[in-house]
Structure 1
């Protein structure tokens, strides 16, 4: 069966991606930030707290220390962890559109560049598999190829691929590279993957833009300041400030 993605299907994927980010990432990010009013949520280094506050604010007032603790958490580990935890939900958007009934294969699609049918295992990012995963992926692909032979269907190694949802080829870990070098299955990442699925070389950028558009709904400035002020009122933060004034 040939699947050629339509304009309507592309828009469905873009809209579903926006909704995924809104519901799974943005709302969770807000919930996690609102919890950070208690110092117990941080591993506070008393040797660095005042230094970092002075580094970014020029003083070691309680609000400055609170901000120095919150910013790395809110802008770094919190959102990054949330994105990683929910990326499988994102791949379900593709599963809904191209889901495979073949064991060990996530999606099947007609490659819009070489027009060959592709059997694809989806992975989220360029560093999301380990050494053991390489053998598991190769084993699944070998099973599909052998089943094809049994059914008089020749499936070339090049048509058994690993698709990585985001990133660029230079980001790929050594484990991904071994899938290609040792087992001769392509690993296709980011812009090229979406181009091959949709036929649109700009779709990856459109996808990033669509998700980024959710940012206009994410003005959390006042609520963040409220969290800073509540954290600054804790005795732990006040004590750190008192020792440096």
Structure 2
């Protein structure tokens, strides 16, 4: 990979984060988080959590206890996970696979072999049923390769996990790794790009976008809107 290609990929990552993550976070997640109907409120806990967070249990404090975990945690993590394949597609044009059950194909930057890869977002983003599905897809590709006299080995079928470390992989990933390699975080990006520190470069690039966004006023408005609904339902 040339330096020009490396810079282009990092710039593409910034553009993706601005257009796909930041905008959907602000215009989607934050707007939804401002509506009481979006929450399954536990009436036995919401005042406790509010008081634990702020020292009182008024409507605004309850709103904070509901909003902050939603917009700073679950919503954006879910959004990122749903857009992983689009991220790779935007960063690496031409890597998409026509093989059933395979997200991308690429030449491994370490061993030089073609890899058939299923993409996953993070170390805890698959469930029990996904294990069988992934293994069956990989088995099917290898069977087809044998039929067509293609040299596709077990180590050429990989699960690529976009972020995290091997020690963080869930038990579901570990079950897959008994049959096929699960490559995560820094090593995945190294194999994909041939650049050992590309993962860190990518984190820094997206961090640059983060410095462009001050969402404090959006958070305050989201909390304020939700507090109005809470006040009307539980206090008036």
TM range (shorter): 0.7 to 0.9
In the superposition, the TM-score normalised over structure 2's length comes to 0.84
**RMSD in angstroms over aligned alpha carbons?**
2.6
- Does the residue aligned with 2:199 lie in a helix, a strand or coil? helix
What CA distance in whole angstroms lies between the structure 1 residues aligned with 2:33 and 2:105?
43
CA 1:106–1:88: 2 relative to 1, 3 Å: closer
* Structure 1 residue 72: Cα displacement: 1.7
Q: State the distance in 1 between where 2:56 and 2:128 align.
A: 47
* The one of 112, 119, 128 aligned to 2:109: 112
Find the aligned partners of 1:131 and 1:100 in 2 and give their Cα distance.
Answer: 25
| Equivalent-residue separation in structure 1 for 2:119 and 2:204 (angstroms) | 22
Shift of 1:202: 0.9
Question: Highest CA radius of gyration, 1 or 2?
Answer: 1
2:221 corresponds to which of 208, 226, 232: 226
Change (3 A) 1:202 1:238: same
1:142/1:25 CA distance change after superposition, 3 Å: same
State the alpha-carbon separation in 1 of the partners of residues 139 and 37 from structure 2.
50
2: distance between equivalents of 1:130 and 1:35? 26
Measured after TM superposition, the shift of residue 8 of structure 1 is 2.5
**Corresponding position of 1:6:** 2
- For residues 129 and 31 of structure 2, what CA distance do their matches in structure 1 show? 38
The DSSP-based 3-state class of the residue aligned with 2:93 is helix
When residues 198 and 130 of structure 1 are mapped into structure 2, their CA distance, relative to the original with a 3 A threshold, is: same
1:182-193 mapped onto 2 (5 Å cutoff):
183=179, 185-193=180-188
Among 196, 205, 210, the alignment partner of 1:210 is 205
Alignment check: 8 A CA contact 1:66 1:237 kept: no
Cα contact 1:118–1:161 (8 A) shared by 2: yes
Change (3 A) 1:101 1:37: closer
**8 Å Cα contact 2:33-2:70 kept in structure 1:** no
> Displacement of 1:204 after TM fit?
0.6
Where does 1:86-105 land on structure 2 (aligned, <5 Å)?
Answer: 86-93=83-90, 96-105=93-102
Q: Which runs of 5+ in 2 are unaligned?
A: none
Matched, 1:65 2:59: no
- Give TM-score scaled by structure 1 length: 0.81
